[in-house]
Structure 1
Amino acid sequence: MDVVSDAISAVRIGRPSSDRVRIGGRWCTRLAPYEGAGFHVVLEGGCWLLPDGGPPVTLGPGDAVLLPHGTGHVIADSFADAGTVARAVPFEAWQERLRPRAPQVPHAAGTGGTEMLCGKYRLDRSREHPLMAELPQVVHLPHRVGDRPELRAAIDLLGRELEAAEAGASIVVPSLLDLLLVYMIRAWTAGSGAGAWPAALADPVVASALRALHADPAAPWSNDRLAAEAGVSRPTLARRFTALVGRPPMAYLTWWRLTSAAALLRDTRDPLASIARRVGYGSPYAFSHAFGREFGTTPGRYRASADTGTA
């Protein structure tokens, strides 16, 4: 596993959902804040997005936008000023009416209609990876010819699956939605000019150390072994890693091991001894002691609270 995949896997729960909608005429709708991440992709036409507490964003054909922290927002056919926002209709009230009916009839050019993919992901933010936490409130990925072809391909495939609703769609659509999330976050890390984590992933020394830790967190890592893996001296690794990641290498490893263990407790029924070995602890006792220091509870109680939705 790589850092981006692990960061997403640590917080992704349940199944994502999406709708393909067509809207014509004058319209304005509001999506309430959500304990997860939302996204919109404009397939045809255009609209405005106004996030709570943020500046408006113009969306054109092929544009994708991710709201990784579930920020409430308004989308409208034209610029959404304060008066427009006050009149916005809740999205849920529009959802059934806006969902296109088969057979699909493409809009004629110039009719002013807008067609979009709208969806959301469920996230568990209790142990959010700092890469996910650092994402801005709105990740806007404008369409550019030849730019991010993998993202464009995922959008095209997702649109076709939602439109056709053919056999196997219940498996294909969630997988494509997960792929879309990865591509949007990957695009941000590759194109962002700010933030510690894009810089960490672009730094060859820090990126090499992170890849090693994430590839095998259970290995008996030490600062010397990790520095050798990254091809630098121990002081050089410590200085660069701490500056960009925000904590020393071994502190990050401990945090990641326990975060991974929390996800395993939440998502599997594996016994504690198995989870302890998978994240690098020699015994359930050592694992439980470290887990209690980090989480303030035992692994068993954490699993029980996750089962009841109170974790």
Structure 2
Amino acid sequence: MDVVSDAIAAVRIGQPSSNRVRVSGSWCTRLAPYAGAGFHVVLKGDCWLLPDGGAPVSLRTGDAVLLPHGTGHVLADSPADASAVEHAVPFERRLEEGWPHQPQAAYGEVEMLCGKYRLDRSRAHPLMTELPTVVHLPNRVGSHPELRAAIDLLGRELDAQQPGSCIAVPSLLDLLLVYMIRSWMAESAAGAWPAVLTDPVTTAALRALHSDPAASWTNDSLAAEAGVSRPTLARRFTGLVGRPPMAYLTWWRLTLAATLLRDTEEPLSAIARRVGYGTPYALSHAFKREFGATPGRYRAETAERSKA
């Protein structure tokens, strides 16, 4: 396992949803704040994204944009003034009533893929919480070839509507999320986690903890796994991650337990063994301290939320 995969898997719920949109002429639509992450891929044409409280972002053909914290925003043919934004048509209403399409209009046609990822923020990994309000990934020649390939595949899959597309499209959307986060990490100069995952000592320690969280890790055994002394590991890991190695391990074990409670029907005894707790009681005590609810109550509440 790797940290990025685990960080995404811990918060992602169900399958992403998406809508393909074709619009031309003058238009302006609003997407309300969402308890998840929103994304847009511009397949054709140019438009603008206006995030709540943020500066307008120009989007061009091939651009991808991720709103990892579900920030409300407006999509429009131009960087509209405050009055136009205030009267923007809700996105859901546009889906029901149709989009303005004026083939002979002065404004060119725009084609987009707009969608959402459902996320459970109660256990968000710090890598995910560190993402900025808007992750804009422009289409530049030679940059992020995996992301570009995923966008091309999405466009072709949506165009062709071939057998199996009901499986292919959600899988490609999941891949898109991974590539958008990976691309942000490659470009980010300010975030802590891009630095964490380029530090060989911290990366080795994190890989060990995520690969086998149930192991009887100690600071000495983890330092040996990373090939450094215990003081060196403590200094490097704590300075970059923001918490000592054993504190991170405890947090990750409980986060993993919460994910298993949400996504599986395994009994608490089996989950306790998988995350490194000797007894269900020990896990239950630690879990309630971290999440404010017993494992049983947490499982019931997340099951109810998933039905909403």
Would you say same fold, with TM above 0.5? yes
Q: Give SS of 2:197's match.
A: helix
Deviations 1:160-189 (A, max 9, x none): 222332221111111111100000011111
Correspondence for 2:171: 175
CA deviation digits over 1:212-257, x for unaligned, max 9? 1111111111111111111111111111111111110000000000
Distance 2:230 2:299 in 1: 37
- Corresponding residue for residue 104 of structure 1: none
| Cα distance in structure 2, aligned partners of 1:75 and 1:275 | 44
Task: Supply the distance in 2 between the matched residues of 1:258 and 1:296 (Cα, whole angstroms).
Answer: 12
Q: Is the 8 A contact 1:20 1:163 kept in 2?
A: no
Paired position in structure 1 for 2:73: 73
Q: Structure 1 residues 99 and 34, CA, compared in 2 at 3 Å: closer, same or farther? A: farther
Aligned to 1:234: 230
Residue 81 of structure 1 deviates from its aligned partner by: 2.1
The code of the aligned residue for 2:176 comes to: L
Question: Residue type of the partner of 1:91?
Answer: F
Structure 2 match to 1:136 = 132
CA distance in 1, matches of 2:38, 2:107: 27
In structure 2, distance between residues paired with 1:92 and 1:296: 35
- The SS at the match of 1:150 is helix
Which secondary structure does the structure 2 equivalent of 1:39 belong to?
strand
Aligned to 1:285: 281
Amino acid of the structure 1 residue aligned with 2:110: T
- How far residue 196 of structure 1 moved from its aligned partner, in angstroms, is 1.2
What's 1:16 paired with?
16
Unaligned runs of 5+ in 2: none
Deviations 1:16-68 (A, max 9, x none): 01111111111111111011000011111111111001111111111110000
**Shift, 1:291, TM fit:** 1.4
CA-CA distance at 1:204 after TM superposition: 1.3
What does residue 118 of structure 1 align with? 114
Question: Does the CA contact (< 8 Å) of 2:27 and 2:100 recur in 1?
Answer: no
In 1, the alpha carbon distance for the partners of 2:91 and 2:148 equals 26
Structure 1 stretches of 4+ with a deviation exceeding 3 A read none
What's the C-alpha RMSD, in Å, of the aligned pairs?
1.8
Residues 295 and 111 from structure 1, CA distance in 2 versus in 1: closer, same or farther, beyond 3 angstroms? closer
Is the Cα–Cα contact under 8 Å of residues 40 and 113 in structure 2 kept in the other structure? yes
Partner of 1:261: 257
- 1:43: which partner in 2? 43
Which letter does structure 2 place at the counterpart of 1:30? R
Whether the aligned pair in 2 keeps the contact of 1:40 and 1:65 (CA below 8 Å) is: yes
- Look up the SS of the partner of 1:121 in the other structure: strand
Question: Which position in structure 1 is the counterpart of 2:153?
Answer: 157
1:293: how far off?
Answer: 2.0
Secondary structure, counterpart of 1:54 in structure 2: coil
2:32 is aligned to: 32
Aligned partner of residue 167 in structure 1, secondary structure: coil
Q: Which moved more, 1:127-136 or 1:291-300?
A: 291-300
Runs of at least 5 residues in structure 1 that lack an aligned partner in the other structure: 101-106
- Contact kept? 1:20, 1:99, Cα under 8 Å: no
> Is the contact between residue 47 and residue 59 of structure 2 (CA under 8 Å) also seen in structure 1?
yes
1:203 and 2:217 aligned: no
C-alpha separation between the residues in 1 aligned to 2:195 and 2:84? 39
By how many angstroms is 1:297 displaced?
2.2
| TM-superposed deviation, 1:99 | 10
Instruction: State the distance in 2 between where 1:31 and 1:292 align.
Output: 36
Amino acid at match of 1:248: P
Q: Is the 8 A contact 1:21 1:115 kept in 2?
A: yes
TM-score calculated relative to the size of structure 1: 0.93
Q: Which residue is 1:103 aligned to?
A: none
Q: Structure 2 CA distance, aligned partners of 1:206 and 1:280?
A: 21
Determine helix, strand or coil for the equivalent of 1:6. Answer: helix
TM-aligned CA deviation for residue 295 of structure 1: 1.8
Given residue 53 of structure 2, which amino acid in structure 1 is its aligned partner? Answer: G
Matched, 1:89 2:89: yes
Distance in 2, Cα, partners of 1:237 & 1:149: 34
Q: Secondary structure at the match of 2:255?
A: helix
SS at the partner of 1:55? coil
What is the CA distance between 1:115 and its match in structure 2?
1.0
Q: Letter of the aligned partner of 1:64 in structure 2? A: A
